[in-house]
Amino acid sequence: GAGVSQSPSNKVTEKGKDVELRCDPISGHTALYWYRQSLGQGLEFLIYFQGNSAPDKSGLPSDRFSAERTGGSVSTLTIQRTQQEDSAVYLCASSLVQGVQETQYFGPGTRLLVL
C-alpha cells in the first residue's frame, strides 16, 4: 500500500514568511510524528499526535511552530515568521500503535530553505 507522503518536497521561502508543510500518514495509522533533520542538530523530535490530539509537543523549538491534525489523518506543520535557522528537512512518520512493537514509518521529507 501507499506509504507516508509529504508535500511539498522542496520549499524555498524568504525570511519572515509563513510556511505550511503537509503530511499524509499511512491509512489507518493513528500515531503521527514530526521530526526535523538539520546539519547542526541532527534528527530531532518535534511533536507527536495520537488521533487528533497532541499529547507531546515538547520538541517544538519556539512558539512560531505549530501543528494540527484533522480527521485523525492529515497533519500540517506551520512555521510562522520563518528564520534562516529553520532551514532543515522536516520528516513525518506514522505508526499503527502496537504497544512495545510499534514501528514508525517515515515519509520522504520536505526540504525547507529559508533565504
Partner 1 sequence: AQSVAQPEDQVNVAEGNPLTVKCTYSVSGNPYLFWYVQYPNRGLQFLLKYITGDNLVKGSYGFEAEFNKSQTSFHLKKPSALVSDSALYFCAVRDRGGATNKLIFGTGTLLAVQP
Q: Please choose, from the candidates 51, 76, 80, 83, the residue with its C-alpha nearest in 3D space to the C-alpha of residue 63.
A: 80
| 60-79: contacts with partner 1 (CB under 8 A) | none
Among 19, 26, 95, 114, binds partner 1 (CB under 8 A): 95
Q: Which run of H or E residues covers position 31?
A: strand 31-38
Residue selected from 16, 28, 51, 55 as contacting partner 1 according to rule CB under 8 A: 55
Q: Judged by CB under 8 A, which stretch of 14-22, 43-51, 60-68, 75-83 contacts partner 1?
A: 43-51
What's the one-letter identity of residue 14?
A: E
What is the C-alpha separation between 71 and 111, in angstroms, rounded? 26
Alpha-carbon gap, residue 24 to 93, rounded angstroms: 9
Give the interface with partner 1 as residue ranges (CB under 8 A).
Answer: 4, 6, 31, 33, 35, 42-45, 48, 55-56, 58-59, 91, 93, 95, 97, 100-109, 111
